[in-house]
Amino acid sequence: MHPVVDTWVYLSASPLLWLTLTLVAYLLAFMLYRRSGLNPLVNPVAISVCMLLAILLGTHTSYHTYFDGAQFVHFLLGPATVALAIPLYEQWGKLKAHWVALVVALLVGLTVASGSAVLIAHTLGASPRTLASLVPKSITTPVAMSISEKLGGIPSLTAVCVVITGIVGSALARFVLNGMRIPSHAVRGFALGLSSHGQGVARAFQVSEEMGAFAGLAMGLSALVSALLLPYFGRWLLALLT
């Protein structure tokens, strides 16, 4: 076993190893997802996270060591987000025609997503710091962590909640929207982006470009509006409850 251990010690010190394992884990998870007929319950993000978590725990590797290699994927999130402007531009006519409904849906969706999570957690006896961490759980991770810190929450807990929200939302959205008999790709996409941020956008683009464009719009607008208004709403809600 010594040669195997020595080889692993050597490879684990290379950032390229963790980047490769991240890509391989997602490719394997996506293969399972495609074999399932794109069943949203077979979420490739959730599966690849579990695979990587098992590797890190099994090898006693710290997250810091892992992120040294995987940070290139994290860096690509920026250009990927900017690239959403292309399908948005192509759907510009529909966006202008429905801007009032989109603004109302955005404000109501953000209020319900944030308020319901905090109220449920408060009812179950969560601490004030936990409540503050849940306020921004439905927006994209960087913005959510910043808001959580301003409210006195725990940014790392907020990040976990954001990921779980994205996974659960993108997995269950199709069944909920089908149950509500909502056929419009624009409406379905906006709901996905608003409730499940980046993972919802990825799921929406797998269905259609129109759905992906509206999901990307919802994710971007929710981050912008939340950064401006959610700290004030969060402080008011936390003060009311605590």
The predicted pLDDT at position 123 comes to: 92
pLDDT at 119: 92
pLDDT digits 0-9 by tens, 136-194? 888 887 788 888 988 988 988 888 888 888 888 888 888 888 888 888 888 888 888 88
Domain ranges of the chain: 2-75, 82-241
Specify the pLDDT at position 3. Answer: 55
pLDDT tens for each residue of 50-107: 898 898 888 888 877 787 777 777 677 667 666 766 766 776 777 777 788 888 888 9
Q: Cα dist. 136→97, 103, 115, 161, 169 in Å?
A: 29, 18, 10, 9, 15
Of 35-44, 127-136, 156-165, 232-241, the one with minimum mean pLDDT is: 35-44
For the stretch 5-42, pLDDT in tens is: 554 554 555 667 788 888 888 899 889 888 888 787 78
Which tokens go with 183? 């056929």
pLDDT at 216: 84
Residue whose entry in the numeric block shows the structure tokens 């208004």: 229
Residue bearing tokens 């439905």 = 138
How far apart are the two ends of the chain, measured CA to CA in Å?
56
pLDDT at 120: 92
Q: Which of 198, 176, 132 is nearest to 188 (CA)?
A: 176
Mean pLDDT of the chain: 82
Per the CB < 8 A criterion, the answer to whether 142 and 236 are in contact is no
pLDDT of residue 99: 81
What's residue 81's pLDDT?
Answer: 66
Quick one: average pLDDT of 211-223?
Answer: 84
Strand, helix or coil at 60?
coil
Number of neighbours of residue 78 by Cβ within 10 angstroms: 10
CB 218 within 8 A of CB 106: yes
Q: Is the pTM of this model over 0.85?
A: no
Give the tokens for residue 202: 């990825």
Determine the length of the chain.
242
Give the chain's radius of gyration (CA, Å). 19
CA distance 152 to 191: 29
What's the pLDDT at 13?
A: 58
